[in-house]
Amino acid sequence: MDVVARYKFEAMVADALDALPDDLQHVLDNVVVQVIDAHPDEPGLLGLYEGVPHTERTGHEGPDVVSIYRLPLCEMCQDLDDLADEVYVTVIHEVAHAAGIDDDRLHELGWA
């Protein structure tokens, strides 16, 4: 699939954020979500959470950052529907980490 224009990709990320399960919506109060073309050191990385999970916060932390990497996601998908699905999975995965949910629990919940 060709690389999707940034504005279209950002709309997919916004749609994914709007579709997050209710259990994760509260996490967005202290999370910045950004679209980046690719991680500078790990070109195949799809998303990254940076911050202190909400389960470990003391109240003095700044906002967390979730980065969603456009180029690797576009490269791995066959069409726009596939891309939208992968964007959703990546967004929910990274926001869940902000909520303090590890990969094993993500699988149990069916979110990975």
Structural domains of the chain ordered from first start? 6-109 (3.30.2010.20)
Distance CA 42, CA 72 (A): 10
pLDDT at residue 112 in the model: 67
Low-confidence ranges of the chain (pLDDT < 70): 112
Predicted confidence at residue 30, as pLDDT, reads 85
- In angstroms, rounded to a whole number, what is the distance separating the alpha carbons of residues 109 and 112? 8
The pLDDT, as a whole number, for residue 61 is 84
74-101-93 Cα angle (round to 5): 10
Q: Would you state the pLDDT for residue 75?
A: 97
Single pTM value for the model: 0.93
**Please, are residues 84 and 109 in contact by the beta-carbon 8 Å criterion?**
no
Residue 89's pLDDT is 95
